[in-house]
Amino acid sequence: MLAIAGRHSQFRPSSAGISAVNRAKAMRSAGLSGELMKRRRLAQRILAAPRKPRGSAVVMLFAATMLAACADIGDESIGNGFQGRQNAFTWLEPRRIPPRTPIRTAGAPTDLGAFEGEVVVLNFWATWCAPCVEELPTLDRLQAQLGDSGVEVVAVAMDRGGIDTVRSFYDRLGIRHLDIYADPSERTGYFSQENANRAAFPLYGFPITYIIAPDGRAVGYLSGPADWTSPAVKDFLKRLRSPDDNR
């Protein structure tokens, strides 16, 4: 994952993910290794230590993500998320995303409200990001495999060149199933400190992928690349699509 300087985020790790008591119980019952316990204690020390304002957002994100990775969290009907190539899925306190959050496409302007009722795999990437390019074909295959099953992959390029850059890149890479989205002005996602356009999604690095439930709530994110066609990922998305079928 290519990291970007941190900033204050409106998203918070889920209360289940930051509960020390629940996390300790889960670790004991799962019989996790001593190394994992060491990582947990390190993360707790980071969160408890006095912090200087500069760079504190990055430190807090690192510690919260480490703690979430050491926990048995999630919804019983959905499961505990999935593992990317570098990091585990991080649950968030579900927050409804304004349906009019804009997304620039190669066609008519649209917004996230167009995907109401579907699970949205909202991926932020760039053509100059090697891990992004590596995982993009798996997102293309995911759209081909689950696009008719209530899952929509929205891969948003943050390149300053916008739509034209993405179109030519898709042609060279052989991407056939993803629609073209671009956000050169940071209206959907943001990595600038000021977030002048009040974009909804903080970008801690590339690639980063937010998962949005059918009711429009952002339930979590994965930082770094993943194999989006793995059985674990597809099972997670299907469960999120129809949670009542899994109870």
How many whole angstroms from its chain centre is CA 59? 18
Residues 6+ apart with CB under 8 A from 82: 88, 89, 222, 226, 230, 232, 233, 236
Strands (E) in 14-166, as ranges, are 90-96, 102-105, 110-111, 119-125, 151-157
Residues 31 and 127 in one domain: no
Q: Can you give the pLDDT at residue 245?
A: 55
Structurally, how many domains does the chain consist of? 2
CB 83 within 8 A of CB 162: no
Give this prediction's pTM. Answer: 0.72
Residues 66 and 88 in one domain: no
Query: Could you report the per-residue pLDDT of 37-67, keeping only the tens digit for each?
Result: 445 455 445 445 554 555 555 554 555 554 4
Q: At which of 30, 53, 73 does a domain end?
A: 73
Residues 42 and 137 in one domain: no
Task: With a cut of 70, list the residues of the chain below it in pLDDT.
Answer: 1-80, 108, 244-247
Is 1 within the bounds of a domain?
A: no
**Distance, first Cα to last Cα, the chain:** 35
